[in-house]
Chains A and B, each alone.
Chain A
Amino acid sequence: MSRPIETITVVGRDAALWLSALGLQRAYGKVGVKVHAIELPSLLQPNDVLSTLPTTYGLHGLLGIAENNVFRFAKASYVLGQRFAGWSGSRPPFMHPYDSTGTNFGHVDFVHFWQKAQRAGMNVPFENFSIGAVAAAQGRIADLRESATPFSKAAQGFNLDAFSYGQLLKAYALKSGIAHSQGILEKVDVAEGAVMSVTLADGTRHEGDLFVDATGPQASLISQLDEAGPDSWDHLYPCNRMMVMAGAPVSPAPSYSHIQAFRGGWVGMFPLQDRTAIVAVYSDDELSDEDMTQSVPVLSSVPVSGDAVVSSLNTGLRRNAWVGNCVALGEAAVMLEPLDAVSLHPLHTGLSLLVDHFPAAADAMPQARLFNRKFAGHMENIRDFQLAHYRLNQRYDEPLWDRAREMETPERLAYKLSTFKATGQVPLHDDEAFEKENWTSIMIGHNHLLDQYHPLVDGVPDAELMQRFQAMLKFIAEEVSEMTSLSAHMELYAPQKPRSSF
């Protein structure tokens, strides 16, 4: 006779803990499942930043968190895209917007028409045909008028101060009625391939029908069960160090993150309300931590303050994120680079999968296999998106970047890249975090162009094509002018300092 899940014990820290606990409480608390959050000491450093995609809206919706509160209390800023600079030699930076670009003419994708015009000498970058990209470049937030919605689905993610965001989530979680303990994890009792209980340093022992491991990279619970351990992806990424710093805020507030490639890796600038969070990802083959510290102010061109926090950077996927009665969520399950704003995406994915595949019984959880396969597929797709930046770089004669192009390329990624080049199509799989327009944007942005455009393109007379392009650009300019600026939004929704003069 099987017994339903009565208690979920979530062990973890920071955002992962509170998101998991709150998400499960919201989903299953109403049918009587008790959620118990066991809070371990934070591993956050003072300047840590989370950079998220527009899907965060869905996550917050699931959790019942008001966007304005996130904006207000997490020192947050809105981001409509990522700007990549210096990834392709001397070519100008490009914006990867969270939006489509251009409109199809008939059944043929816009990119084909653009490429024809570009070959014929038109000097308008691809991104200029995207409301999201133009809006990001002009510091707007994604409040489209109705007239723009058939053309654009511009959306925004958040940059979040990791500590403040964690505090906000904690407040929401505690208010939701979960049980809460805190302490230092002393022991994880495992028997028959399942977690029996966890013991804290104060001697208290906590049981549960289902355990969630939200302990971050330490993977304190799942590592007791997952004998295989995570698959390392370190051989796919060229960098192995990470540094976090704080820079002065930029005014007017940009609504994009800036990802600057340099000889030894890249430096990301993530605007927040009170600062520009800076994250450098680099290889110790190319430069020491000390050299990196000195390079950051030059590369970021904002005044930098405070200490640099350095860590080693490892990537990899735990193929058995769910073993027995223990599900790893967040960094306990997968480690990615802090590129492409996927800070919360793995956690969101895992949490959604767990909610969808919630175990019916406490003593047997066959869903684990399905969960693991889906989760792994999803993470591989994100990984491939990150790797595409490296593989497509055009920084020649720099060892790190030459290596980044030549490193092993997962088969599915290789297929995406070659298919796009040959046909302009993006072969998508199930569980893709990034869609066709995202892939198209970064491939064109990195100058990975089509070998030939679609034959139907020539059916549109050149004069008509130019006319349509111009109409599109004019439309975009008007729509973007009507969008709210991030600075204005910040003033209205974030705490203001009192003014000093008139």
Chain B
Amino acid sequence: MQKKIRKIVIVGGGTAGWMVAAALAKTLGTHHHDIVLIESEMIGTVGVGEATIPQIALYNSVVGLDEAEMMRETNATFKLGIEFRDWRKLDHSYFHPFGFYGVDMGGISFSHYWLRWKKAGGNLDYTKFNVETEAARDEKFLRTNDDNNIYMPSVNYAYQFDASLYAKYLRMISEKRGVRRIEGKIVDSAQNAESGFIESVKLENGQSVTGDFFIDCSGFRGLLIEQVYKAGYHDWSSMLPVNKAVAVPCAKNGPPLPYTRSTAREAGWQWRIPLQHRTGNGYVFSGEFISEDEATARLMNSLDGEPLADPKVLKFTTGVRKKSWIKNVVSVGLSNGFLEPLESTSIHLIQVAIAKILAMFPGDQIQTGLVDQYNEEMHWEYDHVKDFLIAHYHVTERDDTPFWNYVRTMEIPDELKRRLETFRNRGETLCHKSELFKEVSWFAVLYGQGLEPTGYHPVANSISEDDLKLRLAKIRSGIQDRLNGMPSHQEFIDRYCAANSLMSA
């Protein structure tokens, strides 16, 4: 007989652990549920400068965070999208923006109208029809959340912040709401002999922490999900071959850019994430194609500011647990899987897990039907992000290193093959409604990577050429009006959420 679920134990702190804690404390409350988080100061977290996607606003509002306060506390900057340098070919750059291209018309996306216009000799780049791209170019930012002007596009954004400060901030909020933090390193666990459910975990100091429901946020090692339950792992490294990262912060070299930059390198790619006080950098690479020392040297040589710490190396295997929820254990974050942060999805996947856990949160009993559903849905999420990441590597003209020759010619999933083919023929991306990356993202990346559609959706021919031009001009007008009213990113930060310089020192 299962016990009623009253005590929730979060195994591990870090971004995942504290995101779970803060969300559970807010939604389940700590009156009916006892929420405990066990973490050890001795175990470092993998928090580096981290970039997010706009969906994080939903998490923040569920938890009830004040945006400006959160940004001050985490040295955060705004992020309008990602610049991809050298991905299609050397000396090429494209932008994957948040937000939209133009305005969808007649039930099909704007990009089809643009493709039609381009074929007819139109000379204005599609990127000009996206306000976030334009603002990023001009290093401008404005929060338009409360602006009801229907003539101008709103500005979609996410954050770039110090993930360890974000975890710290969430910890403060969680503890205020009654989450108990227990310091200690877990060395063992005890299962119910009959059901196999975890009943307690044992700390190094001998203390035993009992619980009814365990959330495994223990990082790559998967303390419960893998070490106890042997969930197994889908290894995707044949299609996403990077398996190491070296990270280092450096001094900022000017006002922070309102976007993340990803620069393709000889055996992977390098991130650049500007925070208010410094810049986060890292080289994500494949150990099969470049040595750790060489990758580190390349990273250090490419910094645009003085390094502020020693470079730190991480190892990982891209993939996902075959099961994320087993018995009374759910794995969240790195313990559940790893997808390189090329599209800043790490925090998002934590958030998705939290949302699903809450949606399917067990009452008195854990229903196997819900557990199966959860496992299917989580796998689906990871799987589709995976395909999107693969597209970045596979659709390229680069042939200058063995790494790029490998990814350009490797075998890719059938579903992705079908997508690329359809996009090539008529600019459609076959996105599922619930897929994280929507048509705009696929268009930005596939077109940016050099896959230019030869056709477009026939509905785009339904309006007259004059009407089309007029609509294009109107859309551009709205974007220009919006841009003209935007301050610089730095100015906006200064007046909205400047970090306390004492703290950020």
Contacts and interface: CB of A to CB of B under 8 A. Distances in A.
Chain A bound to chain B: yes
A-B pairs, top 4 by smallest CB distance, nearest first, are: A488-B476, A485-B477, A502-B95, A481-B151
Contacts of B177: none
B480 A492 contact: no
Most buried by A among B84, B133, B149, B472: B472
A481 B152 CA distance: 9
Contacts of B95: 502
A478 to B, nearest CB: 8
Contact of B470 (A140, A481, A484, A487): A484
B472 A492 contact: yes
A146 to B, nearest CB: 13
A485 B94 contact: no
Give the interface size class of chain B: 20 to 34
B258 to A, nearest CB: 13
A40 interface: no
A148 B128 CA distance: 28
Interface stretch (B24-32, B119-127, B206-214): B119-127
A501 B93 contact: yes
A496 interface: yes
B230 interface: no
B301 interface: no
A302 B123 CA distance: 29
B83 interface: yes
Contacts of A482: 151, 474
Contact of A483 (B124, B127, B472, B477): B477
Nearest to A501: B93
Best-surrounded residue of A252, A492, A496 (most CB of chain B within 10 A)? A492
Contacts of B360: none
Contacts of B469: 492
Contact of B127 (A481, A496, A502): A502
Nearest to A488: B476
Contacts of A499: 125, 127
Nearest to B94: A502
Given A502-B83, A502-B133, A488 B477 contact: yes
Interface in A471-500: 481-485, 487-489, 491-492, 495-496, 499
Interface string B120-163: 00111101100001001100000000000101000000000000
Interface in B448-495: 469-470, 472-477, 479-481, 484
The SS class assigned to the B binding surface is helix
A143 interface: yes
A502 B133 CA distance: 8
B474 A491 contact: no
Contacts of B93: 501-502
A482 B474 CA distance: 7
A140 B469 CA distance: 16
A488 B124 CA distance: 10
B480 A485 contact: yes
Contacts of A481: 149, 151, 481
A496 B477 contact: no
A260 to B, nearest CB: 23
Contacts of B127: 499, 502
B480 A502 contact: no
Given A495-B123, A496-B123, A484 B474 contact: yes
Contacts of B479: 488
Contacts of A252: 480, 484
Contacts of A502: 83-84, 93-95, 127, 133, 136-137
A489 B128 CA distance: 13
Given A487-B480, A488-B472, A502-B133, 4 more contacts: A252-B480, A484-B470, A485-B477, A485-B481
Nearest to B125: A499
A488 B483 CA distance: 12
Tell which of B83, B469, B472, B480 has the most Cβ of chain A within 10 Å: B480
B297 to A, nearest CB: 27
A380 to B, nearest CB: 40
Interface string B84-101: 100000000111000000
Contacts of A501: 93, 137
A491 B124 contact: yes
B477 A484 contact: yes
18 contacts: A252-B484, A481-B151, A482-B151, A482-B474, A485-B473, A485-B477, A485-B481, A487-B476, A488-B477, A488-B479, A489-B473, A491-B124, A491-B128, A492-B122, A496-B123, A499-B127, A502-B83, A502-B137
Given A485-B481, A487-B480, A488-B480, A496 B474 contact: no
Contact of A492 (B94, B124, B149, B484): B124
